[in-house]
Amino acid sequence: MGEPTFPPLSWSTSDLHGQTVIVTGGTRGVGRGIVEAYLGAGCSVVVGARTAPEEEERPEVLGPDGELRRASYLAIDVRDAEQVGWLIEAAVGETGRLDILVNNAGGAPSAAAATASSRFSTSVIALNLLAALHCAQAANDVMQTQASGGLILNISSVSGLRPSPLTAAYGAAKAGLISLTESLAVEWAPKVRVNCISAGILDTGHADEHFGGASGLERVAATVPVGRLGTPQDVAGVCLLLSSPLAAYLTGANLVLHGGGEWPAFHAAASSS
């Protein structure tokens, strides 16, 4: 057995310059933040989403080489394995390689589990779990042929780690995504690393509407130990970190990004009595 090799302890995001990245659901919110981060690092970014944004709505980011960089967009349904294949082909066709896949597409509206239709639940699970599997399979086919392998990042949620009332199917799918990450990391090693980021409550620009205005948003933020909600940039920053040589030994991991979690409900109940 040869001597182990160690990654450099100094690293810059510009070291990612020239890598090819696919981001699913990268048109707004967390996905857009991830796209902008990789563009800023000098990557070639291809976005797969149901609807491609208009030209004037696409981010334009200054790369480390001083040039403005823009992503390429392909309108696809990531729940369709054939269309996912088109996305992989488009990315590889641009640069001849695929270095990083970020499975970000997901989400679900609230619905009571007692009355949610089978069609609704099937759709939620397909988007938040099966789509990531389709994309990962197609990306792995390419990455296994590359000397440098590749990295797959799955964006999950704390809903997959705790009860998820009114979004039960979503929470179950995200729990499945965490398990899928661990299994794929074992199957596809050593060429391909597979990791997961489970995000907590995020402010994507419309959180005040979701939580009943600015005062509601402030109260929710106060339940987070670090004193604020997460942002798309927080998630994007962790994506860059996991893409670096500093994380070369990290695979099959679920990094929980929630600002310390939430104060247990019994504390509030006890203090109000």
- Catalytic site positions: 170
Cβ atoms of 26 and 35 closer than 8 Å: yes
**64 upstream amide cis, omega within 30 of 0:** no
Q: Which two tokens stand for residue 226?
A: 């670090």
What is the rounded CA–CA span in Å between residue 225 and residue 13?
Answer: 28
Q: Are strands 68-69 and 61-62 parallel, antiparallel or unpaired?
A: antiparallel
What is the rounded CA–CA span in Å between residue 2 and residue 86?
Answer: 40
Helix (H) or strand (E) holding 45: strand 44-49
Query: Alpha helices of 63-198 — where are they, by DSSP H?
Result: 81-95, 118-125, 131-143, 168-188
CB burial of residue 242 (10 Å; 0-12, 13-18, 19+): buried
Q: Which residues is 30 bridged to in the sheet?
A: none
Q: Which residues is 257 bridged to in the sheet?
A: 199
